[in-house]
């Protein structure tokens, strides 16, 4: 049985004032019961995409790829290496049998230079 828990993530604290650079945007896929790879969809049928970003910790630790799932009717059109911000970013802790991990998702993604700052 899968166990999940969603935790809100402060996107500004994670991405800093400049946002996270995009490395790739690809359809999120899974292998169905027949072994065929298909694109994932939300329960209402909206296609899901993986926005792969480069997270560089402020403490100087090594950079890591951070995959964030975003649902959108069309693949987000953001140039590679552009800085982005995520709306309603959450982290899901999951466990299935002996396996566990983190999965990030957001309601939307947009270029960081289009994001309004608080008070604007």
The pTM score is 0.85
Residue 108 pairs with which residues in a beta bridge?
87
Q: Phi, psi at residue 6, to the nearest 5°?
A: -95, 135
Q: What is the pLDDT along the chain (120 residues), one digit of tens a residue?
A: 455 568 889 888 887 778 999 999 999 999 999 999 999 999 999 999 999 999 988 888 899 999 999 999 999 999 999 999 999 999 998 888 999 889 999 999 999 986 454 444
CATH 1.10.3720.10, applies to 3-112: no
The tokens for 23 are 């490395």
């Amino acid at each position: 049985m899968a166990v999940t828990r969603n935790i809100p993530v402060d996107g500004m604290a994670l991405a800093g004032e400049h946002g996270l650079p995009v490395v790739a945007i690809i359809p999120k896929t899974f292998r169905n019961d027949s072994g065929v790879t298909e694109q994932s969809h939300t329960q209402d049928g909206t296609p899901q995409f993986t926005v792969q970003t480069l997270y560089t910790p402020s403490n100087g630790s090594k950079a890591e790829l951070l995959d964030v799932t975003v649902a959108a009717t069309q693949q987000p059109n953001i140039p590679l290496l552009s800085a982005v911000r995520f709306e309603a970013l959450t982290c899901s802790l999951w466990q299935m049998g002996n396996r566990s991990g983190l999965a990030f998702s957001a309601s939307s993604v947009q270029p960081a230079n289009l994001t309004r700052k608080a008070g604007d």
